[in-house]
Amino acid sequence: MALAPHLDGVRVLDFSTVGPGARCARILADYGAELVKVGAPLRSGVQREPPFHSYGANRGMKRIRIDLKSSAGREAFLRLADDADVILESFRPGVMRRLGVGFEDVRARNPRIVFCSTSGYGQSGPYSQWAGHDINYLALGGYLDCSSPRADGGPPLPGATMADIAAGGMQAAIAILAALLRAQRSGEGEYLDVSVADGVLFTTSLWIDQYLATGERPGPGHDVLTGRYAWYDCYRARDGKWLAVGAIEAPFFANLCKALGLDKWIAHQEEDAVQEAMRADFRRVFATRDRDDWVRELAPANTCVAPVYSVPELAEDPHFAERKVFCEATHPAHGRFRQVGPVFAGGDRERGDHVALAYAHSDAESLLGDAGFTAEEIEELRKEGAVA
């Protein structure tokens, strides 16, 4: 018998459009929450439609547009919030409160509400009003400084928005799930102040804790994971493609050395003085064969070697295909396309009929009807421009 989705019956009103809030919304929706995207009314020349495929194409979600600057719009939102379990927002700190739809306004009507605010630097502190994006939070939290530098000596640009995804979106999802569990037991909701910059500290906590405990300054090349040793690095193969080597444990390192004909290094794994010579040998040997030849030999042989894939390569990888990490969705304007599916443990990887949400789509009539609005009231709200 198929199990009900984990968050079946949980309604989330989501004000986010991009960044950590949108990542969090995707997670909650993939676990079965009823996710309602709440946006501002469309105004010509003001809003740009994001790429249709962004954030899972908002598959399985609903949408309503509400003008929170109008009294009728605020009241419509608050009536929707009466039956909501979660409100997720990513405005600048203080905006929701000034609009009259902040945590205290909602809690006065719905004491079990979980109200999650995601922001770059948190709701308090001297940086709380700063504008920022992923790279700024990674910079402040030490992530960039501990990463291997570019050729010009500067910090690298990460290949994914790690702050938005892990430090923000996942943090928000975890906090919301914990708060929902608490609310289920106590009947009381709570306010969650999710700071992406705070979350970055968790991603770099190994190095921050090292410094706080010992006074040692972390940085590129200071440790196993930041480039100190030859056996935790990337190497170019004969065909110009790259391999990632992570042979940390001694048995794996020994297996790697034997497979490469470099037995001489087995007894010297952590000797700093020989790392550059070892690295030069690894470069030389790996350059003698194509990447996939090496992968076929080394990956199954307990050497901790993997290919550095491009996105087109990983999209056709047989392992990911068997794991069913990709799904298909249908967009009303763009047709059927592939995308990353519900990949987290417990997500429904079997479903093949995902429906993407068009940017102009609206579920206002059904959502407001469920909240007790009459057809006449809904029509009046539409005429006023309070909802769409």
The domain segmentation of the chain, as residue ranges, is 11-202+325-384, 224-236+242-307
- Please tell me if the domain spanning 11-202+325-384 has the same topology as the one spanning 224-236+242-307: no
Fold of 11-202+325-384: Rossmann fold (3.40.50)
- 3-class SS of residue 8: coil
Q: Contact, 120 vs 195, CB < 8 A?
A: yes
Q: What digits encode the pLDDT tens for the residues 146-188?
A: 888 777 777 778 888 889 999 999 999 999 999 999 999 999 9
> Given this model, what pLDDT does residue 44 score?
47
Give the residue numbers annotated as catalytic, written as ranges. 133, 164
According to DSSP, the β-strands at 305-307 and 242-246 are antiparallel
CATH class of 224-236+242-307: alpha beta
Q: What digits encode the pLDDT tens for the residues 120-137?
A: 999 999 989 988 989 889
For the question of whether the overall pTM of this predicted structure is more than 0.85, the answer is yes
- The CA distance from 213 to 217, in Å, is 11
> Given this model, what pLDDT does residue 223 score?
87
CB atoms near residue 181 (< 10 Å): 10
Q: What digits encode the pLDDT tens for the residues 8-49?
A: 999 999 999 889 999 999 999 999 999 999 998 876 444 566
The residue among 319, 358, 313, 312 whose CA lies nearest residue 335 is: 358
Cα distances (angstroms) measured from residue 343 to each of 59, 72, 168, 350: 14, 40, 18, 11
